[in-house]
């Protein structure tokens, strides 16, 4: 949600991670090239390589949230009318998302999905703060104010989306976001628990590799 604290959560929670193994991708309004492909194309290109952490600041879920609430956005995707007007159009998109995430999970990618749940009252206060604070004014977007008028529609879209795409392997975590410090703590704990469950260790040398290493050490000390 706008002003929910996505950027600050990424900055705070991931501050201790080695940047060599972590990348953040922020998805804004799709380009013409991205609109010429299916709705999962642009984000799939940014999936992290093995051993790396990839963070999506917004994602393909925009395609069942913003696009759903703002129906005119769907027109720019140049899809056949037969598809966009089908009764099961949105359920089909949910299905595609579930299948993508299931495929990634089966192939070793662990997915954590966080929904920062912000109250309408707190969002108003944060938008006012952005306007009043010269150092935060650059964050304010007129579009944030416009989208606020569709608050009820967004709540319905969020509810349908989270219910349809939260699975045993890739569940959604709805995080209370009015209190930023508490939200950061919750996100941190979930990520740490997931990392611990992977039981990761540095590679261990076998007996032959150890012998070779000691032989090299001997030569280095001569």
Across 101-121, average pLDDT: 97
| Predicted pLDDT of residue 37 | 96
**Phi then psi for 135, rounded to 5 degrees?**
-80, -10
**Phi then psi for 7, rounded to 5 degrees?**
-60, -45
Across 110-130, average pLDDT: 96
pLDDT digits (tens, 9 = 90+) for 185-216: 999 999 999 999 999 999 999 999 999 999 99
Can you tell me which residue has the tokens 């940014």? 46
Is residue 144 over pLDDT 90?
Answer: no
pLDDT digits (tens, 9 = 90+) for 49-93: 999 999 999 999 999 999 999 989 999 999 999 999 999 999 999
pTM of the prediction?
0.91
Can you tell me which residue has the tokens 């604290």? 5
Instruction: Summarize the chain as % helix, strand, coil (round to 5).
Output: 55, 10, 35
Is residue 132 over pLDDT 90?
Answer: yes
| Predicted pLDDT of residue 1 | 87
pLDDT digits (tens, 9 = 90+) for 146-185: 899 999 999 999 999 999 999 999 999 999 999 999 999 9
**Are 91 and 50 spatial neighbours (Cβ–Cβ below 8 Å)?**
no
CA atoms within 13 A of residue 179's CA, in its CB half-sphere: 5
pLDDT digits (tens, 9 = 90+) for 26-52: 999 999 999 999 999 999 999 999 999
| Predicted pLDDT of residue 143 | 87
**Are 187 and 175 spatial neighbours (Cβ–Cβ below 8 Å)?**
yes
């Amino acid at each position: 949600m706008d002003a929910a604290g996505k950027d600050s959560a990424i900055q705070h929670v991931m501050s201790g991670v080695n940047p060599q193994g972590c990348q953040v991708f922020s998805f804004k309004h799709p380009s013409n090239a991205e609109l010429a492909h299916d709705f999962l194309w642009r984000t799939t290109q940014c999936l992290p390589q093995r051993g790396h952490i990839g963070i999506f600041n917004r994602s393909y879920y925009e395609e069942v949230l913003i696009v759903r609430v703002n129906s005119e956005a769907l027109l720019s995707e140049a899809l056949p009318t037969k598809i966009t007007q089908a009764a099961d159009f949105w359920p089909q998109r949910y299905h595609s998302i579930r299948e993508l995430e299931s495929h990634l999970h089966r192939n070793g990618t662990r997915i954590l999905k966080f929904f920062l749940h912000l109250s309408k009252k707190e969002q108003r206060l944060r938008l006012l703060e952005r306007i009043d604070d010269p150092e935060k004014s650059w964050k304010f977007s007129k579009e944030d104010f416009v989208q606020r008028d569709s608050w009820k529609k967004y709540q319905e879209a969020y509810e349908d989306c989270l219910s349809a795409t939260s699975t045993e392997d890739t569940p959604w975590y709805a995080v209370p976001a009015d209190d930023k410090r508490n939200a950061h703590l919750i996100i941190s704990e979930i990520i740490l628990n997931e990392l611990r469950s992977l039981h990761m260790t540095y590679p261990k040398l076998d007996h032959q590799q150890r012998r070779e290493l000691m032989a090299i050490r001997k030569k280095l000390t001569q």
